[in-house]
Amino acid sequence: MKLWVKICILSMLARTATAQTSVEAVVDAVFKNHPLLQAASFSTQAKKYAEKSALSLPNPEVNIESPTGEFYAVGILQSFDFPTVYARKKQVAQAETALAQVGQKVNENDLRYAARQLYLNAQASAYQAGQWGVRDSLYHSIIAAAARQFAAGEINFLQKTLVENEAAKVHQERLAAERKAAAARNQLILLSGLTDLGTLAPLLADTLGLKFSSASTDNPNVAYEQQAVQVAERQLSLAKSQALPNFSLGYLNQGARGTPLDYRFRAAVGIPLWTGQYQGGRRSAEAEAKAAQSRVDAQTQSVSLEFATISTDALTALDNIRYNEREALQRSRLLITTASRLREAGEVNYVDFLRTLDEAFSITREYALQLQAFESARIKMLYFSGK
């Protein structure tokens, strides 16, 4: 029994020494393989190509007519907007390209968060599976000891059956934890595309560089809404320029065959008389610009509130982790060694012995849950900070 106790304690403290796949390696693989980022990249390219079409002119009109009734003349007519319109169309296209680029960063931030959370789930699941494995091995040795004591008449059938029942439940918990760990690992492989995932880093609380300041200034979602405001303002400027006159230039001989070349050209100016439709477009663009600014304010407020909540969760979990490392884990090891020694000396029955073991292992489970809670909060803080 003493040998198994030593194995149990050493297993709790052991750290993986083999080669590991870091979370950043998983994030890099996700960035490389995920179709969402490829789609975002193509969308950005499409917006860049659209900038070239901002200066596009309508197709020229080629016509054949007989102004004098004596012969047919070939003419051409080209229409175009006021130059300011083309400049503002270009500005709108550039703002939409910048919006697509910020949207790509939003997608990157979302995928980075998803990869880190899946990595954390896989870490926590592997940790729990390892703990249940240690406990299962310990309970197998307890079954063997109980069987020997029952055969020697030292314990009754009730205690022996109780040990077997508890060991069976622990074994089922181990199988469930191993299945959960395998599922979490497969999810990570599916997201990252890494078929040779390797060993994950051990579950630890990473407090290095942890910042609890506001994340609204660096949040990609806030930046996206801010860029959407720029797009709306450019569209407002474009809507205002639509009320400017447009022009047409053309060539057509409307006189005799010998009409001088200087008199064969034509020009026209489109006068924006229908002011109602232009005012409607302008007012619609103004309302959209105000709505975009309100979305920025709402997103900033939402990020600030969520970041404050997550910061509190992180500090609470960190306090619990420090308490466990300072007192509870040491108490758990002490409970296991003391209970085992008393059980071997016959000073405690199996009912109290198994209850004590369950309490000791519940401390390690709670420690793992607090580690996961802290890391989850830290990952969310990085997500809201766009890191």
The string of pLDDT tens digits covering residues 41-91 is 888 888 888 888 877 888 888 988 888 778 888 889 989 888 888 888 888
For 292, other C-beta atoms within 10 Å of its C-beta total: 19
What is the bridge-based pairing of β-strands 265-270 and 73-80?
A: unpaired
**Separation between Cα atoms, residue 357 and residue 365, nearest integer Å:** 12
C-alpha to C-alpha distances, 257 to 61, 66, 69, 250, nearest whole angstrom? 22, 11, 12, 18
Q: Tokens 């990609």, residue?
A: 220
Give the distance from CA 106 to its chain's centroid. Answer: 8
Strands 199-200 and 246-251: unpaired
Q: Give the chain's mean pLDDT.
A: 85
Q: Nearest-5° angle of CA 142, CA 140, CA 332?
A: 65
- Mean pLDDT over residues 162-190, rounded? 92
Q: Dig out the tokens for 111 from the structure.
A: 């995928």
At 82, is the secondary structure helix, strand, or coil? Answer: coil
Label residue 178 by pLDDT band (50, 70, 90).
Answer: very high
Chain centre distance of CA 318: 23
d(CA 371, CA 378): 11
Q: Which domains does the chain have, with CATH numbers?
A: 2-10+20-384 (1.20.1600.10)
Triad 290, 387, 321: Cα angle to 5°: 120
Express each pLDDT in 108-160 by its tens digit.
999 999 999 999 999 999 999 999 999 899 889 888 888 888 888 888 888 88
- The C-alpha atoms of residue 255 and residue 75 are separated, in whole angstroms, by 13
The number of CA neighbours under 13 Å toward the Cβ of 63 is 12
Q: Which of 189, 198, 182 lies closest to 33, judged by CA?
A: 189
pTM of the entire structure? 0.80
Between the alpha carbon of residue 14 and those of residues 61, 139, 246, 330, 360, the distances in Å are 82, 20, 78, 15, 18
Check if the beta carbon of residue 270 is closer than 8 Å to that of residue 247.
yes
Give the CA count within 13 Å in the CB-facing half-sphere of 14. Answer: 13
- pLDDT tens column, 10-31: 454 444 445 688 888 999 888 8
Alpha-carbon distances, residue 129 vs 19, 136, 244 (angstroms):
20, 10, 71
Residues 165-193 have a mean pLDDT of: 91
Contact indicator for 352, 338 with CB cutoff of 8 Å? no
Do strands 199-200 and 20-21 pair parallel, antiparallel, or not at all (unpaired)?
parallel
**Residue 175 confidence class, pLDDT cut points 50, 70, 90:** very high
Q: For 239-264, what is each residue's pLDDT tens digit? A: 888 888 888 999 888 888 878 888 88
